[in-house]
A and B are shown apart, each in its own frame.
Chain A
């Protein structure tokens, strides 16, 4: 094990105090995800002790700002710590997302945990720093050069057999060292814990019902709350009749603050009864747009904030010159996170301090918003993450934390609040509804000469961040504004291509001022987005904007292949320049034993069952992971019911931390994407949302005969670790649609693919 020259010399000087100075470095730039708060945290991320503690029993405690909501970050981060510090996995204790204990790493989201904590910054760099420091200390104690030392299971051993344990070296003392940006990560090819399949560490507790979800947090003296939401968006409180619930046994108090209304009782049952019985007189809100004409009459007609992602300036000319111009329009509905457990938080607000147990993915941002809401200095508030039900983005986790705190402050007691199913489904920040219009011109040989795409996306609120509680329902009811969407024209694109939303299809070259940032070869290109104020709250839902755009881009690619009479896989490869994306597409095709076939141009039967297969691929967020998917789908031509049977997925997300965890994420993502494609959408009438439970919002359940999922993991060396949790899901919708095109010759351009829509498309074709 090698120590950099400077640090070893410094260690020899440092003696007992262990004070070592490395060159200063800019910590803010050192984060992959940011910007984090302007250092309101007392935990300094540039200090090693903020991340790692070696305990006197030889265990290692690691502090991380990335939490585990069920996506496997407990296990993967524990593997990282075990690997870098050369200790057994069982000796690692991970403390996740607690504003009193862990550094501020913003929000755990967007497949950013791996890029943030697994490369050369933050947690990984802290671990590498700690190992080098420990070896340096051992070298000094044993009076041997660091090069002669090796570490196994937390014991530093010299060639001559002398050894010393971590516990003996630091045991419960602080390191008092800064993070060393030059500390070396253990090389990928020497990994023994990281990169190996590890069964998720939480499973014994999960399977036996011993795991402490936030729903089970109990605080002495705790009461139970419920919220009473307005009947419709924009409705305001006129009058609350507290006498209507006075008789309920166990009733504690009605809490009203502006348009926020809630009840607190001694037990959950009483709180539920009170919420149902409380008489509130509401001023009605404005009517909602008609759902049946929402896309064309509302979304595409509102004032919009425009963004031009790429524009070669010649698309109109090229389209006019093209032999064949293909057009298609795709729509994506509002969808819910639809967590299986309604959101819950426990708050203990005292006159001058507060503790909130929250399922939020954003501990520090939530703390800052709570400071605004409670009127309390930020350092008097502690937010402790406890896992809720899987959330897949911004479900009610942040909103319920605000609500619980307001209720607790209102009654001066700790309060546990869990939403009703309807509270959750009516008011969460939905995944955005979108319309995407595509146009492309083909050359005489069928290749793509020009591609133009334009979208309209609904947007209102989002994650509250550090200062926008109004981005979610409870903040709005308390009187906070959501961030303002300012309509305005697009600026000319400049700088590097920004494709975090997968607006730009992989097949475009994505050139701005001569620098090409996308994965493809089409140079006559334009991608324009319109962001429109939404009647409902919206927010990140696995994978925000990316699933909508990838659905449209990848379906349109098959439409183009059909016009060219080309095989969809070969046609994709023909237009892709990025080697990693090409490689995953080839790997998925190989796993599926893909036989070349012309896309969607044959004669089809009119009745009975037919089968087809479709492919799709994506450079996720332009560069944060590469994935390809092949789907085999049965189509019942008589009923219009689709039944996916097999998926073959190939993934390249850089060096893999936990292959089993990554497969689990890919499988879950693909099947969730399938459920969303086949049946999930938010519905509403002119007043209110009408999809308010599992009878009115259609998720596939455990009785569904699920397709098999085969996952091929590509595990490259020498490249950064990338996100994996949200990549594969974006391919399920287009792979299914393309398989239906192959099976039945119809284009499904509107999600969800309900039997009625499939039958309508079949009739149109006939």
Chain B
């Protein structure tokens, strides 16, 4: 056990944990966050996705002790039910969920891709979602929501 200081959703948190503990378990069990979640623990599904300095990473295979002072953002750090982030709003408007378990992977991976390249084509967005699963197969609505956010984003940046 050692003391680990993490910067999560704009705040600093100190926790006691084995530094080898997957970041995911610190976020969910110790910080009580409800965005990332365990799907496979093998970097194969995307359920545990968080942003690390804006990049989508899989927190199930990232050791908590290795994150340092990098800024971690989870799905619950992006917006709230009352005030969702624009990409979350686009997903609500497009009705892009069934069970919703996959949403950290889908929303955060798409956001990271579009933040890095606001002009990413549909093809590029899709390719970046390699290894992100939605087993309810809400794909078409999700792609529509991502497209909607991308368009709005472009206008905002223009």
Contact = CB atoms under 8 A, between A and B. Distances in A.
Contacts of B157: none
A706 B140 contact: yes
Nearest to B35: A209
Contact of B95 (A664, A671, A693): A664
* Interface of chain B: mostly helix, strand, loop or mixed: loop
B144 to A, nearest CB: 10
A363 interface: no
B75 interface: yes
Chain A interface size range: 35 or more
A302 interface: no
Interface residues of B, number: 71
B133 A701 contact: yes
B92 A216 contact: no
Nearest to B134: A702
A340 B134 contact: yes
Interface string A632-675: 00000000000000000000000000001000110111011011
Nearest to A647: B140
B80 A672 contact: no
A702 B81 CA distance: 25
A733 to B, nearest CB: 14
Given A269-B21, A664-B95, A667-B140, A389 B39 contact: yes
A694 interface: yes
A215 B41 CA distance: 14
B34 interface: yes
A209 B44 contact: no
A70 B99 CA distance: 4
Interface string A259-282: 000000001111010000000000
B141 to A, nearest CB: 7
A211 B100 contact: yes
B74 interface: yes
B59 interface: no
A206 B25 contact: no
Contacts of B138: 664, 667-668
A671 B136 CA distance: 9
B4 interface: no
Nearest to B36: A209
A70 B40 contact: no
30 contacts: A70-B100, A72-B98, A199-B93, A204-B92, A207-B79, A207-B92, A209-B74, A210-B34, A215-B38, A218-B29, A249-B18, A267-B25, A268-B38, A269-B17, A269-B20, A272-B41, A340-B47, A420-B41, A421-B39, A421-B41, A664-B98, A664-B138, A668-B137, A668-B138, A671-B139, A693-B40, A694-B40, A694-B133, A702-B129, A706-B140
Given A341-B37, A703-B126, A703-B128, 12 more contacts: A203-B100, A208-B81, A209-B35, A211-B34, A216-B28, A389-B101, A418-B38, A671-B139, A672-B137, A674-B137, A701-B130, A703-B131
Interface of B: 1, 17-18, 20-22, 25, 28-29, 32-42, 44-47, 74-82, 84-85, 88-89, 91-93, 95, 97-107, 109, 126-143
